[in-house]
Amino acid sequence: MLRKIKNKIQSFFIKQSLKKNPKQAIVMIDGGICSQIHQWRIGEALRAKGVDVEYDISWFKAWGKDCDGKFARNFDLLTAFPNLEFKVASDAKIKYFQKHFSYTEKPGTSFLDEKMPKYFGSYYESYWKDLPPFPHQIDDSLFDSYNKNIARQIKKEPHAIGIHVRRGDMSVTKHNWVVCPPEYFVNAVKFFVKKFSNASFYFFSDEPDWIQDNILPLLKDIDNSIHLVSHNGSDKGYIDLALLSYCEHCVASQGNLGRYANMLNQHKDKMLIMAKEPGSTEIRVLHNLSDVIPNPVIK
């Protein structure tokens, strides 16, 4: 009985708030650090159109792991970027908006054209359009001594190449991703060895042992220095993102960490390596890409 009364009171105040300002939205945030940045930018795009935006971070309390339930996914956005504009929605408001205002994407439309109020609680193709820039960096004051040493080492290299190898819940081809084979990473390394005789390579992954067993043996004839950064667990993805962004060039896999590292990368004439086709061993080179491009979708 008391709960029903409490819910009615909460609903009343939410309705009153919407009468005063119907231009309100709640954006769900979930997943790893790259998803969190992406969803925050969705909110910023709405905010630029005069919408009062709050964020739903309840997923991290209810689940907080990858799709396989193996690797941790913490809410690290404000740890990595403490100065972001960010307002957390109440549980009552989240439930009310989910019930009455859930967004359903229509083909050929943009979420920015929707009439408010709205609850944006999934992943949509239009989320990749019209997002504002993200001119923020991760401060290395967050690093422990090991990561500070790695950061200094990367910054001293004449040509540091960061390579992200996504495994975990993306180690099998399904949904909208295709796994990059070991030969793809080998071809990326060979590309940079040919381009820079003094290139150094830094591998990052949620499964560093897999790199040790499946990729490094294929590079035993490479004389360049190769480093496997294995200190950070899945709960410190934002640190790996920062270290990758310090590298001059980046190699991406089926995950988004490499692509977001490229977006944060401040080097002039930076290059991002991606698979020529999803799952291909062949590479394609993107020059000075300033933003993140969508994941390839299996047709």
Q: Which CATH number is 140-287 given? A: 3.40.50.11350
* Separation of alpha carbons 26 and 58, rounded Å: 12
Distance CA 86, CA 70 (A): 28
Q: Are 295 and 176 in contact (CB under 8 A)?
A: yes
Is there a contact between 272 and 250 (Cβ–Cβ < 8 Å)? yes
Amino acid type, 176: N
Cα angle for residues 122, 109, 91 (degrees, 5° grid): 30
**Which tens digit of pLDDT belongs to each residue from 68-124?**
788 889 999 999 999 999 999 999 999 999 999 999 988 888 999 999 999 999 888
**Strand pairing category for 283-287 and 52-56:** unpaired
Closest by Cα among 262, 232, 258 to 248: 262
Question: What is the distance, to the nearest Å, from the Cα of residue 95 to the centroid of all Cα atoms in its chain?
Answer: 26
For the stretch 65-74, pLDDT in tens is 888 788 889 9
pLDDT at 197 over 70: yes
3-state secondary structure of 26: strand
127 neighbors 109 (Cβ within 8 angstroms): no
Q: How confident is the model at residue 297 (pLDDT cuts 50, 70, 90)?
A: very low
Question: Does position 27 have pLDDT exceeding 90, yes or no?
Answer: yes
Q: What pLDDT shows up at residue 1?
A: 66
Give tens-digit pLDDT for 228-269. Answer: 998 888 888 999 999 999 999 999 998 899 999 999 999 999
- How many CA atoms does the CB half-sphere of 135 hold within 13 Å? 2
299, pLDDT greater than 60: no
Q: Calculate what percentage of the chain has a pLDDT beyond 70.
A: 98
H or E element in which residue 163 lies: strand 159-165
| Share of residues in the chain with pLDDT > 90 (%) | 74
Mean pLDDT over the full length of the chain: 92
Q: Global pTM?
A: 0.93
Which pLDDT belongs to residue 295? 63
Q: What residue ranges do the domains of the chain occupy?
A: 2-128, 140-287
Mean of pLDDT values over 177-199: 95
At residue 271, φ and ψ (nearest 5 deg) are -125, 140
pLDDT of residue 36: 96
Instruction: Give one DSSP letter per residue of 38-53, joined into a string.
Output: HHHHHHHHHHTTT-EE
Q: What spatial distance separates the first Cα and last Cα of the chain, rounded to whole Å?
A: 51
